[in-house]
A and B are shown apart, each in its own frame.
Chain A
Amino acid sequence: MSQVARSKGRAGFITGFLVAPLALYLTFVIWPYVQTFGYSFTNWSGQSPTFDFVGTDNYATLLKDEVFRGALWHNLLLLVFVPVVTILLALFFAFMVNAGGRSGAGGVRGVGGSRVYKVVYFFPQVLSLAILSVLFGAIYRSDEGGLLNGFLTRIGLIDAQHPVEWLNEPDFVLWALLFVVVWHGVGFYLVLFSAAMQSVPKDIYEAALLDGAGRAQTFFKVTLPLLWDSVQTSAVYLGIAAMDMFVLVSTMTSGQFGGGPDHHSEVMSTVLMRNFLYFGKSGYACAMGVVMLALTMILSIVTLRATRRERIEF
């Protein structure tokens, strides 16, 4: 086969292999993303085929929308607490599981049964958020039939006549949801950090041990700096998850697409969906989508900058 024919055939092959995946991806992912920007400047209802361009009106309305501002504030709270709590717990557990056990001979290893812990802790990660919603809906029940209330009543911490309405208390609802996210996520990050810890050469630990470092010192002076890249990546992932929260809020809290009581658990995604599917304000919902994108971008950049450190090679 001549060189020309060969390269022609190759071009055909490359195109052939790329056409279908690209077409699908462009149609259902990229093009809708792009369209959102356009629609966000219109008063489109979604039902009627006609709409007008209203410039930045939607964005101006957003700024004044009390519900959306509250939702934004809740997202920001979650943005701080979800990553911090999850990462701290996961780091602690990962350290215990991988380097917590010690023998007199100076080896570094996990505590006993570490494999079992890893398997059990990761399990919530494969459960769907819908299952979490059913499970924690039952756990947080507002009567004694809820696992949490039932347990707290049994040990005498709360009065059986006045159980706590976890998901209806304005002050508790967001934290109750936060706990679900943490419960769900810790195992994943434990496995992630474990992998990073295991790729650290053992002699680094042994050297630290010989120099007389305790467990806490080993953790802060050796493990954490070597893991910084993974921690950073995790913070971004968790931040993105905290920007979403749609399934849990919309299914576990009261109100159309959740957000109750009285908007105390409202997040941006639930406000967006309510405006889109319930109020029929598609253009306005698109503007919210754009704001969410902007915040996600800012969040990623800020997290990566703020946590930037000198990279340690090993």
Chain B
Amino acid sequence: MAAQTTVIKAPGEDAAERTGGSGRPGERRKRDSEGMVLNVFSHGFLILWAIMIVLPLIWLALGSFKTDAQIGGSALSWPGNWHFDAFGRAWEKGIGGYFANTLIVLVFSVPLTMLLGSMAAYVLARYPFTGNRVIYYFFVSGAMFPVFLALVPLFFMVKRFDMLNTYQGLILVYVAYSMPFTVFFMHSFFRTLPTAIHEAAVIDGASDTRIFFQVMLPMAKPGLISVGIFNVLGQWNQYILPAVLMQPQTSGEPERYMLTQGLIQLQYQMGYETDLPVLFAGATIAIIPMLAVYLSFQRQIQAGLTSATLK
């Protein structure tokens, strides 16, 4: 599929070509002027929406350099406190810890999701056996149900395993809830890999397990990267599962909030303590890694999205 075939041209180039056209002059000019009006109109909207996305984010980041009084005063005031102290305070207020918690969980949950999801998808995609379709649909159907349907029993299930407010509990739950998408995506990916290579490996005497780890998994790398990014984004941004599962159960227990939870916590706290620059700095800290991941992987993200939804 040709994902990136848009011809990019500067607006000026367009205009030059348009006015330089020959043929029936009157006809052309009429359509051109209609085109110009539309162009200004549509470009206007495109630019307006782009501003509506970028401006609030810049405004938020600038807020970290304001004083609390400035934030409460006028929204359009220019920062008067060009120091990073609000970032330092946000870090101390727990953003650093929440950040670390999220990293700890993701370091385990994402690779585990990828490994288990690929294993299941591989077997389901390439080995015909009784019940194959049933298990496949079983996995994929999980994506259709609202997570709220499961919340109450899930809470007590995790509690029974004594894993409330523990990293391992949340890791296992994340992996389980990432299964439908991962299996669905990797399933279609493994199906497209050529069988000839598999047969060659069998003749060479490789076992099924070995073929999977040394031949198939490396060949599936582009797919793994796409799903991996989506899992990272999805699990990093998860709110509802940690909100239910990562609450201290007794007063002595440490807070193991995820970054999303921590931010909301900070929002309540800073409302009372009237130190809003800290909140703005905290949100900025949370945005920056996402911006970095997104800008470095945006090609894969857009391509992955395309192939996942247009099957």
Contact = CB atoms under 8 A, between A and B. Distances in A.
A94 B20 CA distance: 27
**Interface size for chain B: under 10, 10 to 19, 20 to 34, or 35 or more residues?**
35 or more
Contacts of B261: 130
Contacts of A138: 60, 63, 71, 276, 279-280
B235 to A, nearest CB: 11
Contact of B150 (A36, A100, A146): A36
B196 interface: no
Contacts of B9: 101, 109, 112
Contacts of A199: 1-2, 310
Contact of B74 (A89, A114, A130, A144): A144
Contacts of A151: 75-76
A127 B73 contact: no
Contact of A296 (B39, B135, B144, B291): B144
A13 B209 contact: yes
Contacts of B8: 110, 112-115
Contacts of A198: 2-6
A31 B73 contact: no
A33 B282 CA distance: 36
Given A145-B75, A251-B264, A35 B208 contact: no
Interface in B114-130: 116-117, 119-120, 122-124, 127, 129
A253 interface: no
Residue among B122, B152, B279 with the most chain A CB within 10 A? Answer: B152
A121 B49 contact: yes
B154 to A, nearest CB: 4
Given A28-B177, A293-B146, A17 B56 contact: no
B135 A112 contact: no
A116 B51 CA distance: 12
Nearest to A277: B244
A98 B6 contact: yes
Interface stretch (B80-88, B218-226, B248-256, B298-306): B298-306
Contact of B283 (A14, A135, A150): A135
Given A17-B122, A120-B54, A146-B75, A289 B152 contact: yes
A272 interface: yes
A135 B56 contact: yes
Contacts of A285: 151-152
Nearest to B14: A101
Interface class of chain B by DSSP: helix
Residue among B45, B75, B233 with the most chain A CB within 10 A? Answer: B75
Given A17-B122, A109-B6, A131-B287, A118 B154 contact: no
A149 B74 CA distance: 9
**Interface size for chain A: under 10, 10 to 19, 20 to 34, or 35 or more residues?**
35 or more
Contacts of B76: 150-151, 154
A190 to B, nearest CB: 9
Interface string B128-144: 01000001001100101
B302 A118 contact: yes
A31 B301 CA distance: 32
Contacts of B20: 104
A217 B12 CA distance: 25
Interface in A8-40: 9-11, 13-14, 16-18, 20-22, 24-25, 27-33, 35-36, 39
Contacts of B11: 111-113
Contacts of A134: 60, 263-264, 267, 279-280, 282-283
A233 interface: yes
B78 interface: no
Contact of B119 (A21, A107, A133, A183): A21
Residue among A113, A149, A151, A215 with the most chain B CB within 10 A? Answer: A113
Contacts of B60: 134-135, 138
Interface in B270-311: 276, 279-280, 282-283, 286-287, 290-291, 293-295, 298, 301-302, 305-306, 309-310
Interface string A121-150: 111101111110111011101011111111
Contacts of A195: 1, 3, 302, 305-306, 309-310
B120 A18 contact: yes
Interface string B1-35: 11111111111111001101100000010010011
A268 B151 CA distance: 14
Contacts of A268: 148
A205 to B, nearest CB: 12
Contact of B157 (A27, A147, A187, A230): A27
A135 B286 CA distance: 12
Given A17-B123, A115-B6, A292-B148, A32 B153 contact: yes
Given A24-B175, A29-B179, A144-B75, A135 B152 contact: no
Contacts of A177: none
Given A17-B122, A131-B263, 6 more contacts: A10-B127, A104-B17, A113-B11, A150-B74, A198-B6, A289-B148
28 contacts: A22-B120, A28-B158, A28-B172, A28-B173, A31-B153, A36-B150, A39-B152, A96-B46, A101-B9, A103-B18, A105-B17, A109-B9, A111-B39, A112-B10, A113-B8, A120-B54, A124-B53, A127-B237, A128-B260, A131-B260, A134-B263, A135-B56, A137-B267, A144-B73, A147-B56, A188-B305, A199-B2, A246-B240
- 9 tightest Cβ-Cβ pairs between the two chains A and B: A150-B75, A104-B21, A128-B237, A28-B176, A112-B11, A130-B260, A35-B153, A32-B150, A195-B306
